[in-house]
Structure 1
Amino acid sequence: MRLLVVADSAHTWPEDPDGRYDLAPLVDRHRPDALLSLGDYSTAHAEVMVRSGAPVRLGVYGNHCTQDYMPGHGIVDLIADRRLPARHTTLTLAGHRPLTVLAVQGCVRYKPDRHDVLFTQREYAAAIDPLPAAELVITHCPPAGINDDQDAAHEGIAALRRWVDRHQPRWLLHGHTYDKPPSSRHGITDVIYVHGHAVVDLHGSSA
């Protein structure tokens, strides 16, 4: 399964001759099965995702996503409720076996703003701790101690770290933080960090 993953910034996105962001060249070149957004985008970015020509578009909201822009642009919201920190679901794409997914949105609350997608560690724990195992984690914010940072705005999710250590997913995709290695390992889990865009192949996910 090949994913064109975008997160947090458009600084690596191609531009058309008029200087407008254009993801279509990446879709044409890499032929992904889906375009996956890890969040922190806006309606304007969603319109670029729509024009990309990707056969499927899906994602989670980041903490700075102040609008519910995904459903109105034909992007599947993997959680479908801004009040819910996480959801266990299944990703089914043509030509590939279904993958069980833990989808996590927003980041750890570091300010009182009610428009951003923010949750306390306790709220993340209540949502994530009971969830069963999954093969793939799709999250805006990383787990605590895995590619997170010391400042409050980029603190990792403690419950997600417990869940990862308990269930050992095969892959974990995240954005949110800065200047992390594009790929690393935590136990048996392939950790993939994206800032801008990346083409990610999930080997072993074919039918």
Structure 2
Amino acid sequence: MKILCVSDQIDPLVYTNTIRQRFADVDLVLSAGDLPMDYLDFIVSSLNKPLLFVFGNHHLEDYSYYQEGQTSYTGIEDDHAPKGSGAIHIHGKAKREEGLIIAGLGGSMRYNRAENQFTDFQMKMEIIKLIPALVFNRIFRGRYLDILLTHASPQGIHDKEDKCHRGFKSFLWFMRKFKPRYLIHGHIHLYDLSEVRTTKYHDTLVINAYSHYLIDTGEKHE
């Protein structure tokens, strides 16, 4: 199956009236944050495919609204977000979509006390809230999850020296413990095509989704 990942920049290759032709074979869309909801709505309505997203540290006009949503004791949320045209907010949730188990952790490292910023300890607490859902998946589906969708990167992987763009050490622990196939993040802008975009960490391929990135899992869509 093919997954279109987007983050941080409105990409003219996506935001175009030829989007249906260019991405006709995409099965799922994942947004790693810092994109306006109108852009996500455009993608959903154009491709008519599921879109799961987390918020970054910008474009937070609808952040408080989505934070009011509730999840079950397993953390599994099957309902579409009530706002927009069908994008699904998955921060702190584990969602099964198109045969994949996807969990979300939005936000960035805390740098000025604004919304959706966390210390590394606070992010680890967000991870702990996910554990019941992950264990449920391991017992009943044979694996914890397939994809962790984040805004920030893991510490030491694609991140920067400044506090705002520093990655979370807790994501490294998450990958070692729960072994997602992919960790897809945004937040780190790419200005040079030669910059590193994918990095393998233990069993996980870490991908910077800046602008847009296509993943072909090599598996047949069910």
TM-score (norm 2): 0.74
- Letter of the 2:216 partner, please give it: D
2:187 is the counterpart of 1:186: no
Equivalent positions of 1:4-23 (< 5 A) are 4-10=4-10, 12-14=11-13, 21-22=15-16
Once structures 1 and 2 are overlaid, which stretch shifts more, 190-199 or 48-57?
Answer: 48-57
2:147 is the counterpart of 1:146: no
SS in 2 for 1:5: strand
Q: In the alignment, which residue of structure 1 is the partner of 2:123?
A: 124
Q: In the alignment, which residue of structure 2 is the partner of 1:25?
A: 18
2:171 is the counterpart of 1:177: no
Identity across the alignment (%):
26
SS in 2 for 1:72: coil
Task: Quickly say closer, same or farther: Cα 1:53–1:164, change in 2 above 3 A.
Answer: same
- Letter of the 2:27 partner, please give it: D
- Letter of the 2:167 partner, please give it: G
Q: In the alignment, which residue of structure 2 is the partner of 1:57?
A: 51
Q: In the alignment, which residue of structure 1 is the partner of 2:148?
A: 137
Once structures 1 and 2 are overlaid, which stretch shifts more, 124-133 or 154-163?
Answer: 124-133
Equivalent positions of 1:27-42 (< 5 A) are 27-30=20-23, 31-42=25-36
Q: Distance in 2 between matches of 1:135 and 1:186?
A: 14
Shift of 1:76: 0.9
SS in 2 for 1:52: helix
Task: Quickly say closer, same or farther: Cα 1:32–1:186, change in 2 above 3 A.
Answer: same
Q: In the alignment, which residue of structure 2 is the partner of 1:161?
A: 172
Contact 1:134 1:169 in 2 (8 A): yes
Q: In the alignment, which residue of structure 2 is the partner of 1:200?
A: 215
Root-mean-square deviation over aligned CA pairs: 2.3
Contact 1:27 1:54 in 2 (8 A): no
Q: Which has the higher helix share?
A: 2
Q: In the alignment, which residue of structure 1 is the partner of 2:62?
A: 68
Q: Distance in 2 between matches of 1:199 and 1:25?
A: 16
Q: Distance in 1 between matches of 2:164 and 2:56?
A: 12
Contact 2:27 2:221 in 1 (8 A): no
- Across the two proteins, how many residue pairs are aligned to each other? 187
Contact 1:33 1:54 in 2 (8 A): no
Contact 1:7 1:40 in 2 (8 A): yes
